[in-house]
Amino acid sequence: MRPRISTQAVHGGESREKPFGAITTPIIQASTYTFRNTAEIMEFMHAKAENKQPVRDEYGRYSNPTQSATEAKLAALEGGEEALLFGSGMGAITTTLLTLLSAGDHMIMTSGSYHRTLDFARSLLPRWGIETSLAPIDQPEAIAGAVCPNTRLIFAETPTNPYLRVVDLAYLVKTAQKNGLITILDSTFATPVNLRPLEYGIDLVVQSATKYLGGHNDLLAGAVIGATKLLADIKAARGVLGGISNPQEAYLLLRGLKTLELRVLRQNENGMRVAQFLESQPKIARVYYPGLPSHPDYEVARQQLSGFGGVVSFEIEGDFEKTGRFIDLLHLPYIGPTLGGVESVIQQPAALYSLNPLERKADGIKDNLIRYAVGIENVEDILDDLEQALKIL
């Protein structure tokens, strides 16, 4: 019987017996792994050539025991054969796309994807002759209509940042399989607690482990999870491009993953309460949260997600300056660009996105938009804080 996710979070991927009898997987702080003699080198090289598992560690740019244990846990949580750990979520995305795409290829990306992912697709990939078409996330027929003879993959994100749009995975997979395309889904906002995309037929799942998976705002890491065969070339490219995570970060992530379900379930509860409260307030123009019936993707989200996450986006009745004043009136959340940690963090996306109002408008970032990434604090304290700020505003 397959263990449930909370058990996988604690025990998945880790050997029962660890060095020195330790209960936790140790940090192996080494860049190089030595061999006893030439015969051991030859044995290693033959096993490597035949892709036999497990192959021992050789050099830190390729693998590390702490990192390997973390990868095994990530694979267990997502239900994938293998996971690859990177130094950041963008490292995972860029290495994956550079490996799977070649000059003359075309990919489809759904609208609302993370703006740095869009930057990479728009600004850098064209240098290598790779084209990207953006398809509206809420128009499945547009995704199918964007397929060209040279299309190789579809890249989507769900829920998106900051409007929390949710793509129809069943339709996405159906379209991809019909056309022989690879599907990649950035599931950072959902986490494997709320969504397991591989079970829908998605080929590769990408996670910014910096966020919910680490959960404590103290590490940078990313991961891509899927079938070993599909990951093989990406793994080789990681060794060349050098984007692997380091042992310290891997250890912090491994530790954070053990409490993943506990934290995400609390953030699901807090997110829903905050969204419901904000939607009842006259000074709030609109709330974006996939757990609310008012959200445009509510029905799809209800079918796909087991929880709706800890991020709530909403619009204040007012302009850029008034929105900033409201954020400054809050006492509990930190102001910053991250999400998914135990501490609540709030931001005005327009203030961090661009100083150019026309650029913000072109990319759909409204001046009065706020993104509140709720932590695991007592929700009554979060609501009291919001209420006092709204009264003053």
pLDDT for 80-113, tens place per residue?
A: 999 999 999 999 999 999 999 999 999 999 999 9
Residue intervals in the chain for CATH 3.90.1150.10: 260-392
* Residue 183 pLDDT exceeds 80: yes
pLDDT given at position 48: 84
pLDDT for 275-326, tens place per residue?
A: 999 999 999 999 999 999 999 999 999 999 999 999 999 999 999 999 999 9
Q: Topology of domain 260-392, per CATH?
A: Aspartate Aminotransferase, domain 1 (3.90.1150)
Asked if 251 contacts 68 with a C-beta cutoff of 8 angstroms, the reply is no
pLDDT given at position 54: 65
* Residue 352 pLDDT exceeds 90: no
- H/E element holding 369? strand 369-373
pLDDT given at position 176: 97
Q: What is this structure's pTM?
A: 0.95
Asked if 247 contacts 254 with a C-beta cutoff of 8 angstroms, the reply is no
Q: Topology of domain 5-13+63-255, per CATH?
A: Aspartate Aminotransferase; domain 2 (3.40.640)
pLDDT, averaged across the chain: 95
- Residue among 299, 343, 291, 288 at smallest CA distance from 163: 288
pLDDT given at position 245: 95
- H/E element holding 106? strand 106-110
pLDDT for 16-61, tens place per residue?
A: 888 888 898 889 999 999 999 999 999 999 988 887 776 788 998 9
Residue 234 makes CB contacts below 8 A (sequence gap 6+) with 84, 95, 96, 99, 100, 224
Q: What count of other Cβ atoms lies within 10 Å of the Cβ of residue 5?
A: 21
Asked if 247 contacts 28 with a C-beta cutoff of 8 angstroms, the reply is yes
* Span of 56-65, 123-132, 236-245, 328-337 with lowest mean pLDDT: 56-65
Residue intervals in the chain for CATH 3.40.640.10: 5-13+63-255
The identity of residue 17, as a single letter, is: E
Helices H / strands E in the chain, number of each? 16, 12
* Span of 11-15, 199-203, 269-273 with lowest mean pLDDT: 11-15
